[in-house]
């Protein structure tokens, strides 16, 4: 595992953190629209920390084996059970509950661990396969003819 970013979460640094996530995700090979999906999913998780968990937490961005991940951790009171079970779009008349729904919709995988001591949300996105051009195991040699039959030099 390679850690790309670790930062504290505060309400005043949300925009800067979003730009940093976008920069690192781009560097890992994500491109639009998956780049935008990943950045928005992480942003929603960060906003949940700021809005519902006292405004302080921690975010870590990492990559391993073709996966880009983001983990947000807070020490709030935990997510109420009703929000964890919602896997469909909340009605337009409801103001809360869209964050986890969007995170699930926009990412390839989500793990949520929550309780009275805080919440940990792990978001994963598969990275595009990078095609590596392999060199031939054969060495290149230069061959020249000196004008005589069978007179090659290498």
Enumerate the H helices of 11-134 as residue ranges: 14-27, 34-52, 81-84, 98-106
Is the pLDDT higher at 75 or at 81? 75
Scanning the structure block, which residue is given the tokens 């809360």? 96
CATH architecture for segment(s) 2-153: 2-Layer Sandwich (3.30)
Distance CA 122, CA 42 (A): 9
Which sign does the torsion angle of CA 91, 92, 98, 101 carry? positive
Q: Percent of the chain having pLDDT more than 90?
A: 67
pLDDT value at residue 94: 74
* CA-derived radius of gyration, the chain: 24
77 φψ region: left (φ > 0), alpha (ψ -120 to 50), beta (else): alpha
pLDDT at 102: 92
Q: Convert the pLDDT of each residue in 93-139 to its tens digit.
A: 777 778 899 999 999 999 999 999 999 999 999 999 876 666 666 66
Range 26-29, long-range pairs (CB < 8 A, 24+ positions): 28/4, 28/63, 28/68, 28/127, 29/127, 29/128, 29/130
Over 70: is that where the pLDDT of 52 sits?
A: yes
Across 62-72, average pLDDT: 97
Strand partners, 9: 57
């Amino acid at each position: 595992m390679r850690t790309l970013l670790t930062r504290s979460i505060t309400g005043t640094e949300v925009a800067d953190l979003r730009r940093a996530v976008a920069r690192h995700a781009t560097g890992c090979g994500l491109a639009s629209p998956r780049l935008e999906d990943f950045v928005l999913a992480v942003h929603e998780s960060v906003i949940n920390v700021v809005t519902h968990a006292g405004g302080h937490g921690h975010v870590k961005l990492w990559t391993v084996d073709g996966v880009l991940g983001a983990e947000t951790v807070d020490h709030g009171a935990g997510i109420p059970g009703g929000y964890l079970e919602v896997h469909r779009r909340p009605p337009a008349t409801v103001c809360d509950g869209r964050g986890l729904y969007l995170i699930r919709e926009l990412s390839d995988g989500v793990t949520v661990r929550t309780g009275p001591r805080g919440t940990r949300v792990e978001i994963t996105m598969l990275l595009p396969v990078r095609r590596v051009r392999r060199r031939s195991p054969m060495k290149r040699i230069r061959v020249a003819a000196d004008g005589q039959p069978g007179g090659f030099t290498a």
